[in-house]
Amino acid sequence: MKSLAEHEGTMTNGGIDVANSNGNESNLPGATDVDVVVVGAGFAGLYLLHRLRGLGMSAQCFETAAGVGGTWYWNRYPGARCDVESIDYSYSFDAELDEEWRWSERYATQPEILSYLEHVAGRFDLLQDIRFSTRVEAATWDDEQSLWRLRTDVGEDVACRHYVMATGCLSQPKTSEIEGHGRFGGEIYFTSRWPHEGVDFSGKRVGVIGTGSSAIQSIPVIAKQSKELTVFQRTPNFSIPARNGPDTAEKRAAADRDRAAYREQARRSRAGVPVEVAESGAMMVSEEERNERFEKAWSVGGLFATIGAFNDMLVNLTSNETLAEFIRDKIRGIVKDPVTAEALCPTNHPFGTKRPCLDDNYYDTYNQPHVKLVDLLKDPIQTITETGIDTAAVSHTFFTIVFATGFDAMTGAIVSVDITGRKGLRLADKWAEGPKTYLGLTTVGFPNFFAITGPGSPSVLSNMAVSIEQHVDWVCDLLGDLCKRGVDTIEPTEMAEAGWVQHVNDYADITLYPRANSWYMGANVPGKARVFLPYVGGVGNYRAICEEVVEKDYLGFTLDGEGQRQCNDGIIRRLQPDVAIMLGVMASMDLPPLESLSVGEARAFIAETQKQRAPGPDVGEIVDGQFPGATRDLDYRLYRPASPGPHPIVAYFHGGGWVLGGAASDDPLCRDLCVQSDAIIISMDYRHAPEERFPAAPDDGYAAVQWIADRAESLGGVPGQLAVTGWSAGANVAAVVCQTSRDSQGPAIAGQVLLTPVTDATKALSSKAENAEGYVLTSTLMDWFWDHYADPIDRANPKASPLRAADLSELPPALVVTCEFDPLRDEGAAYADALTAAGVDVEHLSARGQIHTSIPAVDMLRSGAYARQAMATALKQFFATSVSV
């Protein structure tokens, strides 16, 4: 059997003349052979060469293949096409090129895409700068000379100022880890290294390993030719009909009407394709409407219609499951043998978390008598033999085996070059636990190094033609600018890189993607670190971030050279992504500041906005009632768990600055706490300002815990198992209640959970100034609340400002949750510190990237889920360690 490397060696030139001239002189100081080395001559490398020439920079491109095209040079397997419509999956940088090239089909074939890229290379005269059949093997940063020294497999060395890897996300084939793969005596092919002369399957018995996109495209075509076809499936994949055909007139008309606008819309879109974004989630419509939309998407075909049918497919598991089941039903409807149909139904990952495939009669292929599916989950491959493949149960004999087993994606091609940066740091070592980049483009320790569509950029989650152009433009604009400024080196800072890695992970974590063992997660390659590799924030948003980095004078980069030395350190995105999206939506609504309204208007406004929020989980029972407050009856709402009682009880005090809200106003959070802590949560109202000012609220709070303690059993509680919690002003009430109860020998309180509490009106702590504006609770709104609630003289009273209590000892154990972008952050932190200093058992959870209002947003802001869980866990712990009376 031939190895992958031998397969590469059998490739022919692909019809392109190999020319190696290097026209431009280096225009940078120092001993550089060229200004820029570009590795790879696919979509990215070709556009780079064009742009660099426009900048007047000398560039040399090296390419392992004997021709241009990258992906489209190598992947010549039968049925290979794009899965983003060709009208979108093409260059936009040149209006004339865009105008003159016409695609023959909705999804062009590999030969057509390759001839397009060859046309581009010829049209822009790029071949002279490309050295084909030449692999870059090593690159070392020379710190003294501030340049890169590269070594190729033809023994040629080259020095350059800037080194750009345009080596592709899906260009490094995964080596076969199947035992015995060298033994097979028949023909072996890899979809990723297909012979130029093609393969004749006629009359042959063929085995295909894999059911990813490459397999799903090729299987129907191979089935047509072969005598017998056996497909070895480890993980069934979701596949959508491509509905390929001639270029769609509707889409063509939309693009032709105003091509520049069409392209610009793609650039600012989520996935690099101008499509309408659905406004509702799948569970917000009736089952009938949901299925209608799925049917429509299925009949239109294509990835974007399906995944875009609703706006929450990749974040809401319940919504996702409705689509997954819809597709499974389609599979069951198409494939006649029920055992095969069931084996083809994906059940171990949500739809879209592994790249969904586009097909042309894939499922129907299994209705042909000569096509068989082997479900490796039931009957795994043991070894490849001289004559075929042995599974645990059967010895299969083949003439030909096709490996459609995928790639070492996103990092494979980069780290397969021995890249050494400053102080001998090897990139492969630096990335051993997962790639670390700033913007997916650059990495600390490797100055003047750029990776086009590198890990941490939208890349494979987008129309890559759009992402490639954006990266190339960004890098080339930057190189042009640095040259003008007299800057020799650029390198990201540790802080910027760590911040970006965190942001990429934060984004992935609010989606369903990490639930799948996908190549997005590095899970397909044995031993590879499990890290979500691409940036899921979308191309439009990502483009805006890259632009902002430059607008902020290269935020997160160190620039160095005769002309300029600077280090503009910082983190480009610190808010949790879902919080940022919510703030963006709010900003676009141009809402009036709450403090500009009358109290009545503000209350009406809050009541209206609460109608829009997600309801929170179901609980066993909800009971509304009244209790005697300090001076009059007040409302409560009791949330009982579904589990058999009795349960511990938690008195909850709502947020709203002592002015807004009521017993039901934090409904989703109370439900969530009830379900997660398995305790009764009773949301106890208190009198509100300005009608009833300080100390009405804490007096009612204390009356509330006394009332609960007196009748715990009749409420379904465990006597003596009582805790308090609250949010914002409600957390202030909860903290004061604990102090009052201690001082008045009141009910025993097992613990206090204080979510972003107000603790001291008298101190101007730095978070109040830092987060004064932009994060919903503003400093002026906080002042508005205080003005309504308490006279200045009363604000120093510990019943208003519990941090000012003379003695904080002997208080119940506490969890204090503070949020990074909250004017009240430092008040909460100071209270946690003061309690600790007084000997109280305290946990302080500092919620990174959160704002004052984000933790209570149950089912809306997933990034706050861990803090809600921590609150419930703390309550459980309080009860576990408290003694029942």
Which one, 304 or 879, has the nearer CB to ligand FAD?
304
User: Segment contacting ligand FAD (CB under 6 A): 64-72, 587-595, 643-651, 817-825?
Assistant: 64-72
549 binds, among ligand NAP, ligand FAD, none (CB under 5 to 8 A by kind): none
* Shortest Cβ 335–ligand NAP spacing (Å): 17
Identity of the residue, 467 or 882, whose beta carbon is nearer to ligand NAP in the bound complex: 467
With 0-12 CB in 10 A as exposed, 13-18 as middle and 19+ as buried, what is 453? buried
Residues in 366-425 at the binding interface with ligand FAD, rule: CB under 6 A: 413, 417
Instruction: List Cβ neighbours of 672 (8 Å cut-off, separation of 6 or more).
Output: 616, 617, 858, 868, 872
Comparing C-alpha atoms, which of 846, 852, 259 is closest to residue 594?
852
**212 near ligand NAP, rule: CB under 6 A:** yes
Of the candidate residues 34, 40, 454, 661, the single one contacting ligand FAD (CB under 6 A) = 40
Using CB under 6 A as the binding rule, whether residue 470 contacts ligand FAD is answered as no
Q: Is 483 in the site for ligand FAD (CB under 6 A)?
A: no
Dihedral angle over CA of 342, 243, 289, 309, nearest 10:
100
Instruction: Provide the minimum distance between the beta carbon of 81 and ligand FAD in the complex, in angstroms, as a whole number.
Output: 7
- Binding segment for ligand NAP among 232-240, 735-743, 761-769, 774-782 (CB under 6 A)? 232-240
Q: Cα–Cα–Cα angle for 483, 489, 494, nearest 5°? A: 135
Q: Does 70 bind ligand FAD (CB under 6 A)?
A: yes
User: Tell me, what DSSP letter sits at residue 624?
Assistant: E
From the list ligand FAD, ligand NAP, none, pick the one residue 210 interacts with, judged by a Cβ distance below 5 to 8 Å according to partner type.
ligand NAP
- Judged by CB under 6 A, which stretch of 205-213, 422-430, 715-723, 867-875 contacts ligand NAP? 205-213
Q: Are 376 and 542 in contact (CB under 8 A)?
A: no
List the one residue out of 210, 207, 177 whose CA is nearest residue 397.
207
Beta-sheet strands, E only, within 775-837: 814-821
Question: How far out from the chain centre does Cα 236 lie?
Answer: 23
**Which range touches ligand NAP (CB under 6 A), out of 128-136, 203-211, 444-452, 759-767?**
203-211
Question: b vs e for 271-285, b when ≥16 Cβ sit within 10 Å of the residue's Cβ?
Answer: bbbbbeebeebbeee
> Exactly one of 2, 123, 135, 515 binds ligand FAD (CB under 6 A); which one?
135
Q: Distance between alpha carbon 332 and the CA centroid of its chain, in Å?
A: 32
Q: Which does 62 bind (CB under 5 to 8 A by kind): ligand FAD, ligand NAP, none?
A: ligand FAD
DSSP string, 101-161: ---SBSS-BHHHHHHHHHHHHHHTT-GGGEE-S--EEEEEEETTTTEEEEEETTS-EEEEE
Check residue 524 for interaction with ligand NAP (CB under 6 A): yes
**Tokens for 85?**
């419509």
Should residue 468 be labelled a site residue for ligand FAD when binding is judged by CB under 6 A?
Answer: yes
Nearest CA among 327, 15, 355, 435 for reference residue 170: 355
Choose, by CB under 6 A, the member of 18, 178, 599, 765 that binds ligand NAP: 178
User: How far apart are alpha carbons 836 and 821 in whole angstroms?
Assistant: 23
- The total number of residues written for the chain in this structure: 885
519 is an interface residue for ligand NAP by CB under 6 A: yes
Q: How far is the CB of 410 from ligand FAD (least distance, A)?
A: 10
For residues 316 and 277, what is the distance between their CA atoms, to the nearest angstrom? 16
Residue nearest to ligand NAP (CB): 212
- Out of ligand FAD, ligand NAP, none, which partner does residue 355 contact, by CB within 5 to 8 A per kind? ligand NAP
Specify the amino acid at residue 154. Answer: V
Tokens representing residue 284 in the block? 């917000």
Number of residues binding to ligand FAD, judged by CB under 6 A: 36
The 8-class DSSP code of residue 423 comes to: G
3 state DSSP class of 625: strand
When asked if residue 211 is in the footprint of ligand NAP (CB under 6 A), the reply is yes
Residues 6 or more apart from 58 whose CB is under 8 A from it? 22, 23, 24, 25, 26, 27, 34, 35, 36, 52
Please identify, among the stretches 66-74, 221-229, 423-431, 526-534, the one whose residues bind ligand FAD according to the rule CB under 6 A: 66-74
According to CB under 6 A, which one of 83, 692, 699, 760 is a site residue for ligand FAD? 83
Of 58 and 110, the one with the shorter C-beta distance to ligand NAP is: 110
Q: Is 235 in the site for ligand NAP (CB under 6 A)?
A: yes
Q: CB-wise, 134 or 306, nearer to ligand NAP?
A: 306
Question: Where does this chain bind ligand FAD (CB under 6 A)?
Answer: 39-45, 62-65, 70-71, 73, 75, 80, 82-84, 89, 135-136, 166-171, 214, 413, 417, 452-453, 463-464, 468
Q: Which residues of the shown chain bind ligand NAP in the complex (CB under 6 A)?
A: 81-83, 170, 177-178, 191, 209-215, 217, 232, 234-235, 355, 358, 376, 381, 404-407, 460, 519, 524
